[in-house]
Structure 1
């Protein structure tokens, strides 16, 4: 935690306010809202809540059940299942570098981290908990009431403060210690193969995956086939679910390319098991899909180019985030 945070003011009447201490080649993170400034107490409380199974209706599921730290806070499944046992309709996204994001979920349906947790907590297909009952139970736990008092100076726990604590913890999940980052800081160099792969990446991928975050946090239709059964219609709508603008049908948020070895399978529906399948998709692109982004085109490269690109992408692997 100390490697990504630094204190900005302390006095005897307040908790220690913190800020994200990002490396020099990163842009400035989006500031925390005034109502939920980062504190050591709030982050520690959020981490405890994140791993606590009592936040689910059956006391068996935590946030970490689907967002596992060793997998860059993903779960390596096409679709996760939660309290109801039914599979969710979209692939579980990893959680890192969220302090730079302006929206969340594959369709951007949530605009701030302070609101992100409510859907997962209350959805019957995820954690399935009644928020009022959750607060009642936590208010009966003296260790939790003490922790919320220290973090937020409140005498009663509410769902808003639960979500704020979780937001503080998620804001600190920063991935920035990869080989790529070391090169940017002048501490290392790419191999010839990695440098070749970097050039292939810049030519073919960087428009939607610009460094150093390797996402533009935008929404694009990347040529994924729209041939779903009625049961999977939810998957085809994408950003349209939020905007109700037909031009957004099939558009999904650009995922980061960091930590790819731990975040398979890929795409919003988890359809590609490995990077070779992803690259084959772009080599054999179906250009007939409605709303396909003009930035998404055929990628023509040799096996040497492809292997070099994969070597470069491996330089984006960071350590375990926690």
Structure 2
């Protein structure tokens, strides 16, 4: 086993062990242990960005993970963050528009994957409406169709739970738990959701080989996809109109929800533009697009080959669509499958800890 792989495995085991331990309120906990995750060079990123006011620690990640999987934060005690961000599906939920929030009402956008978000500094949510993770978390926590939580009730619940109270006092030494601390803890956990050990990564690190078909697919990806899905994170972290629609409805009650990034910037060039999703773990994150309209990767390729809707804000790269034949399509799909990171899925599955 390569040195890098050993380090990743040992790190994952130690974090998993820390997160799995039950907290005994009678036992003292030492001061927080800050750390920086080990990164694969294949991510092609500069360092690990995190706000100085919320540096990650083993104890903070442990607390954030517990909150992430706790349905008691929701209004009905049945919906957790993991209800829409399931580790088995690379932290998505496998449905186009979810109805498993507290209200049972259908949402208007599909649940995006939430790994490698530490580097999403250009805005979060499909339209970039959240500046950072710390602000993003309040959206799903309090949205009446998602978790529907009352922040004051969350604080009461946490204050009266001895284990939670002890953990919060260690990670955030203020006398009382605050809603901002809840979001900061969840953010610490989410920043450690780093996918970086797929077959593609091992190939780039010269630890494994790709087949001839996969290499051909890689070349096709470079030619046709890499301008938006830039190698490394496999997203340019920006927003593009990819020709899904000719026009964009604007029902008054939805406040521009169908207008993409334009809703945030009021820039005509952002009409119908949405965040470029990562291609990492793409085989696990169906359905696709911001509204989950495509159920398979075959349908996605059909769109880019024959379904582009010309409009004034269409990304210039897509004016003529993407032209590939059936053999090239098979090769491209084979390469996309190499971006599945089984180690990441396993390490973050609650049953593996």
Following TM superposition, by how much is the alpha carbon of 1:151 offset from its aligned partner in structure 2, in angstroms? 1.3
2:109 to 77, 87, 90: 90
CA RMSD of aligned residues (A): 2.1
- 8 Å Cα contact 1:235/1:269 also seen in 2: no
Following TM superposition, by how much is the alpha carbon of 1:241 offset from its aligned partner in structure 2, in angstroms? 1.1
- The two structures have a TM-score, normalised by structure 1, of 0.93
1:21 correspondence with 2:38? yes
1:313 correspondence with 2:331? no
Query: d(CA) in 2 for partners of 1:260 and 1:116?
Result: 23
Structure 1 spans left out of the alignment, 5+ residues? none
Q: Which residue of 2 aligns with 1:3?
A: 11
Matched position secondary structure for 2:299: helix
Q: For residues 173-230 of structure 1, what are the alpha-carbon distances to aligned partners after superposition, in whole Å with 9 as ceiling and x for unaligned? A: 0111100000110111111000111111100000000111110000000011145666
User: Where do 1:273-292 residues align within 5 Å?
Assistant: 273-292=295-314
1:265 correspondence with 2:284? no
Q: Which residue of 1 aligns with 2:266?
A: 244
Query: d(CA) in 2 for partners of 1:153 and 1:226?
Result: 53
Query: d(CA) in 2 for partners of 1:316 and 1:84?
Result: 35
- The two structures have a TM-score, normalised by structure 2, of 0.86
Q: Which residue of 1 aligns with 2:205?
A: 185
Number of corresponding residues: 318
- 8 Å Cα contact 1:4/1:22 also seen in 2: no
Q: Which residue of 2 aligns with 1:111?
A: 131
Q: Which runs of 4+ in 1 moved over 6 A?
A: 4-7
Following TM superposition, by how much is the alpha carbon of 1:288 offset from its aligned partner in structure 2, in angstroms? 2.1
Following TM superposition, by how much is the alpha carbon of 1:51 offset from its aligned partner in structure 2, in angstroms? 0.4
- Which structure: greater helix fraction? 2
- 8 Å Cα contact 1:76/1:265 also seen in 2: yes
Following TM superposition, by how much is the alpha carbon of 1:112 offset from its aligned partner in structure 2, in angstroms? 1.1
Q: For residues 57-111 of structure 1, what are the alpha-carbon distances to aligned partners after superposition, in whole Å with 9 as ceiling and x for unaligned? A: 0001000011001000100100112111111110110111111111210001111
Q: Which residue of 1 aligns with 2:97?
A: 79
Query: d(CA) in 2 for partners of 1:230 and 1:249?
Result: 11
Following TM superposition, by how much is the alpha carbon of 1:3 offset from its aligned partner in structure 2, in angstroms? 3.0
Query: d(CA) in 1 for partners of 2:31 and 2:164?
Result: 19
Query: d(CA) in 2 for partners of 1:23 and 1:222?
Result: 30
Query: d(CA) in 1 for partners of 2:10 and 2:37?
Result: 10
Q: Which residue of 1 aligns with 2:244?
A: 224
Query: d(CA) in 2 for partners of 1:268 and 1:148?
Result: 35
1:211 correspondence with 2:228? no
Following TM superposition, by how much is the alpha carbon of 1:13 offset from its aligned partner in structure 2, in angstroms? 8.3
Kindly tell me: are residues 130 and 165 of structure 1, through their superposed partners in 2, closer, same or farther at Cα, counting changes over 3 Å? same
Query: d(CA) in 2 for partners of 1:175 and 1:22?
Result: 10
Structure 2 spans left out of the alignment, 5+ residues? 1-8, 16-28, 349-353
Following TM superposition, by how much is the alpha carbon of 1:299 offset from its aligned partner in structure 2, in angstroms? 1.0
Matched position secondary structure for 1:25: helix
Matched position secondary structure for 2:36: strand
Query: d(CA) in 2 for partners of 1:31 and 1:238?
Result: 26
1:120 correspondence with 2:136? no
Matched position secondary structure for 1:46: helix
1:33 correspondence with 2:56? no
Kindly tell me: are residues 212 and 5 of structure 1, through their superposed partners in 2, closer, same or farther at Cα, counting changes over 3 Å? farther
Q: Which moves more between the two structures, 289-298 or 156-165?
A: 289-298
Following TM superposition, by how much is the alpha carbon of 1:154 offset from its aligned partner in structure 2, in angstroms? 2.4
Query: d(CA) in 2 for partners of 1:5 and 1:119?
Result: 32
